[in-house]
C-alpha cells in the first residue's frame, strides 16, 4: 500500500470512529484549501481521471496566485505623494482597474483596496501586501503538495481492501473493513459495530432488539435515512452557501406566499411549512417510524451505499413546537449574519442580553411571544433540539415526522454540533448496500410504505402514476 494512503488512514482513525475510504479525495484538509472547490472522486482507483482533474484545478489555482503576486508587487512599488506618507487613491484605483478581470475578485486584499476611496498610508498598504504575500506563498506550498498526489499509483478496490487488511488490520486487530460496491468502510471495532441491512426482515429484527432494551419511560427513538452514507447530518440551509441569505430566503418566501402562512403563529411553524415546500431551512427531517427512514434511505442514489441514523433521546430533551427554546433558535432564521457568539459577552447572561444583536433577536421572538423576557441563555443558541411539530398536514402525519432544529456554533455560518447524546458506548452504523435498495423498496410496499403513501398530495401522486405506467 502507498505510504501516503497508509498514513492517512492511520491518522484519521485516531480522531474518527470510522472512515469512508473514497473520502480521501474530499475530506482531506489539503483539498479543502482549494477555496471550497471540492474535488470528489467516487471512482478513486481511476488514476487517469485523478491526474486529469488535479492538473486542471492546480493549473487554474496556480495562475490565480501568480496574478496575485504581480498585483502585490505593483502595489508595493507605488510611490507616496510628494512630502507625504500616503498613496493617492487614484494610483491604487488604476492598479485595481488593471487587475479586476483577472480572477482576483474574491481576494480579501483586492476587496479592501477596491472599497477604499481615500488616500492610504504607504506603511498600511505595505503591511496588508506583506500579509497577503505570506498567505499567497502558503497556498502555493499547499498546491505543490497536492500536485504530488498525481504520483499515486492506484489499484482497484478489491486489491485495495486486501492491502488495507494486510497493512493496517493485521497491525491492529481492532481495525476492520467492509467493502461495498464502490466504497470501503474502515472502522475501529472497539468503538463501532457495522450492521449491513440487506432486507426488511433483518432491519425489523434489529429495531425490535433495540426497542426491547429501551426504557420507554425515559427515552424515545427517532430515525433518519440517508440514501448516501457519505451525507452528513447537516440541515439544508448549510448547504450551497444558503446560510448567507437565510433571512432573505425566509422573508421572500413569506412575501410571495402570504396566504400559505396566514395560519402559522410562530417562526417554527413557518419553517416547518417552508421545509415542506423544500426551501432550505435549519430543520433536519426525522421520523418516529423506522420503516419510513428505511424508505428514504433506499429511494434514491441507486449506486450509493445508504445509512440509517438512529437517535436515542432522553424524553426530557425533546421539545414541543411552542417551547421558548424552539422560538429562540427558530428566530435565528430572521436575523442577519452579524450575530456572532465569539464577539459577544457570552460569559455573563445579563451582559449578553444587553448586546444590540441579541436585542434584535429578542424583538423577533416577541413578535410571536409578547411575554418573552430579555433573558436569553447564550448556551441555547448553540444547541440542537429534537422537536415534535404540529401534525397539521397529510405528509407530516403519513411520515410520522419530527425535526432536529439546529442552532449556531460561533456564528450563523456554522451549525451547532449535533452532540453524540444519542450514541451508546459503541456506535452502530446501519449500512444498506446499493444493490439491495430496489428489493427493499419492493418489500416496503407490502407494508404500505411507498412514495404514494408518504407523499399524499395530488401533484406527487400524479408524478408517481406517470412513472408507474410509463
Tell me how far apart the alpha carbons of residues 425 and 358 are, in angstroms, rounded to a whole number: 38
**pLDDT category, 126, cuts 50, 70, 90?**
confident
pLDDT at 278 > cutoff 70: yes
Contact 301, 227 (CB under 8 A): yes
CA distance 235 to 109: 32
Checking if the pLDDT of 190 tops 90, the result is no
Q: Read off the pLDDT of each residue in 376-400 and give the average, rounded to a whole number.
A: 92
Residue closest to 361 by CA, chosen among 328, 407, 405 = 328
Instruction: Please tell me the predicted confidence (pLDDT) of residue 422.
Output: 58
Cα distance from N-terminal residue to C-terminal residue, the chain: 49
Write down the H helix ranges in 257-348: 267-276, 290-298, 324-330
Backbone angles phi, psi at 45, to 5 degrees: -95, 0
- Let me know: does 415 contact 406? Beta carbons within 8 Å: yes
C-alpha span between 291 and 299 (Å, rounded): 12
- pLDDT at residue 38, rounded to an integer: 28
| pLDDT tier, 46 (very low <50, low <70, confident <90, very high otherwise) | low
Give just the sign of the alpha carbon dihedral 22, 26, 31, 37: positive
Instruction: Kindly report whether the global pTM for this prediction surpasses the value 0.75.
Output: no
Asked if residues 225 and 296 have their Cβ atoms less than 8 Å apart, the reply is yes
CA distance 333 to 396: 22
Cell 440487506, located at residue: 198
Q: Are 139 and 65 in contact (CB under 8 A)?
A: yes
How many Å apart are CA 266 and CA 272, to the nearest integer?
10
Per-residue confidence at 324, pLDDT binned at 50, 70, 90? Answer: very high
* Highest mean pLDDT out of 129-138, 279-288, 372-381, 407-416: 279-288
- Residues, the chain: 470
Amino acid at each position: 500500500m502507498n505510504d501516503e494512503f497508509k498514513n492517512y488512514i492511520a491518522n484519521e482513525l485516531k480522531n474518527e470512529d470510522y472512515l469512508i475510504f473514497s473520502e480521501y479525495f474530499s475530506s482531506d484538509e489539503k483539498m479543502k484549501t482549494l477555496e471550497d472547490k471540492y474535488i470528489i472522486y467516487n471512482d478513486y482507483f481511476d488514476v487517469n481521471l485523478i491526474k486529469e482533474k488535479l492538473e486542471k484545478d492546480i493549473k487554474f489555482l496556480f495562475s490565480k496566485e501568480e496574478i496575485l503576486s504581480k498585483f502585490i508587487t505593483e502595489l508595493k512599488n507605488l510611490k507616496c505623494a510628494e512630502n507625504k506618507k500616503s498613496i493617492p487613491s487614484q494610483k491604487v484605483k488604476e492598479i485595481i482597474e488593471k487587475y479586476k478581470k483577472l480572477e482576483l475578485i474574491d481576494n480579501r486584499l483586492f476587496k479592501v483596496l477596491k472599497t477604499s476611496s481615500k488616500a492610504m498610508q504607504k506603511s498600511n498598504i505595505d503591511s496588508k501586501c506583506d500579509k497577503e504575500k505570506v498567505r499567497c506563498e502558503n497556498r502555493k506550498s499547499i498546491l505543490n503538495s497536492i500536485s504530488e498526489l498525481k504520483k499515486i499509483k492506484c489499484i482497484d478496490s478489491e486489491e485495495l481492501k486486501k492491502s488495507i487488511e494486510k497493512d493496517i488490520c493485521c497491525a491492529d486487530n481492532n481495525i476492520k473493513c467492509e467493502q461495498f460496491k464502490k466504497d470501503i468502510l474502515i472502522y475501529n471495532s472497539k468503538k463501532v459495530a457495522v450492521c449491513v441491512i440487506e432486507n426488511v426482515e433483518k432491519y425489523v429484527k434489529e429495531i425490535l432488539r433495540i426497542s426491547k432494551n429501551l426504557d420507554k419511560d425515559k427515552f424515545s427513538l427517532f430515525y433518519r435515512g440517508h440514501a448516501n452514507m457519505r451525507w452528513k447530518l447537516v440541515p439544508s440551509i448549510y448547504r450551497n452557501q444558503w446560510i448567507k441569505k437565510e433571512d432573505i430566503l425566509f422573508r421572500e418566501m413569506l412575501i410571495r406566499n402570504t396566504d400559505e402562512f396566514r395560519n402559522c403563529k410562530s417562526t417554527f411553524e413557518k419553517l416547518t411549512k417552508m421545509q415542506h415546500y423544500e426551501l432550505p431551512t435549519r430543520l433536519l427531517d426525522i421520523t418516529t417510524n423506522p420503516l419510513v427512514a428505511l424508505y428514504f434511505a433506499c429511494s434514491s442514489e441507486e449506486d450509493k451505499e445508504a445509512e440509517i441514523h438512529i437517535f436515542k433521546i432522553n424524553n426530557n430533551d425533546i421539545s414541543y413546537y411552542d417551547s421558548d427554546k424552539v422560538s429562540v433558535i427558530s428566530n435565528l432564521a430572521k436575523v442577519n449574519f452579524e450575530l456572532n457568539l465569539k464577539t459577544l459577552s457570552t460569559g455573563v447572561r445579563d451582559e449578553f442580553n444587553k448586546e444590540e444583536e441579541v436585542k434584535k433577536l429578542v424583538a423577533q421572538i416577541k413578535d410571536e411571544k409578547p411575554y418573552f423576557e430579555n433573558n436569553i441563555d447564550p448556551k441555547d443558541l448553540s444547541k440542537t433540539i429534537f422537536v415534535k411539530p404540529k401534525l397539521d398536514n397529510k405528509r407530516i402525519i403519513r411520515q410520522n415526522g419530527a425535526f432536529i432544529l439546529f442552532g449556531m456554533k460561533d456564528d450563523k455560518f456554522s451549525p451547532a454540533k449535533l452532540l453524540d447524546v444519542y450514541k451508546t458506548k459503541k456506535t452502530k452504523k446501519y449500512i444498506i448496500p446499493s444493490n439491495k435498495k430496489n428489493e427493499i423498496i419492493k418489500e416496503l410496499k407490502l407494508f404500505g410504505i411507498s412514495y404514494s403513501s408518504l407523499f399524499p398530495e395530488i401533484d406527487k401522486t400524479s408524478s408517481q402514476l406517470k412513472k408507474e405506467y410509463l
